[in-house]
Amino acid sequence: MPPQESQAPPDDRRPREFAFSDSDFAALRSLVKQTTGIHLGEAKRELVYSRLSRRLRALGLDSFLAYRELLTSGDAQEMVEFCNALTTNLTSFFREPHHFEYLRNQLLLPAVADRRGPRRLRIWSSACSTGEEPYSIAMTICEAIPDYRRWDIRILATDLDSDVLAHAQQGVYSAERVRGLDARRLAKHFHERTQGDSTVYQVVPELASLITFKSLNLMHALPMSGPLDTIFCRNVVIYFDKETQRSLFARMAVLQRPADLLFLGHSESLFKVSDDYALVGKTIYRRK
Ligand SMILES: C[S@@+](CC[C@H](N)C(=O)[O-])C[C@H]1O[C@@H](n2cnc3c(N)ncnc32)[C@H](O)[C@@H]1O
For residue 6, what pLDDT is reported? 44
Give Dmax over CA atoms of the chain in angstroms: 69
Q: How many residues does the chain have?
A: 288
Per the CB < 8 A criterion, the answer to whether 173 and 195 are in contact is no
* pTM across the whole model: 0.94
Instruction: Please give the single-letter amino acid code of residue 42.
Output: E
Residue 116: active-site member: no
Q: Which of 34, 80, 87 to mutate to test the pocket of ligand 1 (most atoms within 8 A of CB)?
A: 87
Whether the predicted pLDDT of 8 surpasses 70: no
- Catalytically annotated residue among 29, 45, 51, 55: 51
Q: Is the CB of 235 under 6 A from ligand 1?
A: yes
Q: Is the CB of 280 under 6 A from ligand 1?
A: no
Q: Which residues pair with 175 in a beta bridge?
A: none
Atom of ligand 1 nearest to the CA of 130: 27
pLDDT in tens, 89-137: 999 999 999 999 999 999 999 999 999 999 999 999 999 999 999 999 9
For residue 5, what pLDDT is reported? 42
Atom of ligand 1 nearest to the CA of 217: 20
CA distance 165 to 154: 17
Q: Give 215 Cα–ligand 1 centroid separation in angstroms.
A: 11
Residue 51: active-site member: yes
Atom of ligand 1 nearest to the CA of 233: 6
For residue 218, what pLDDT is reported? 98
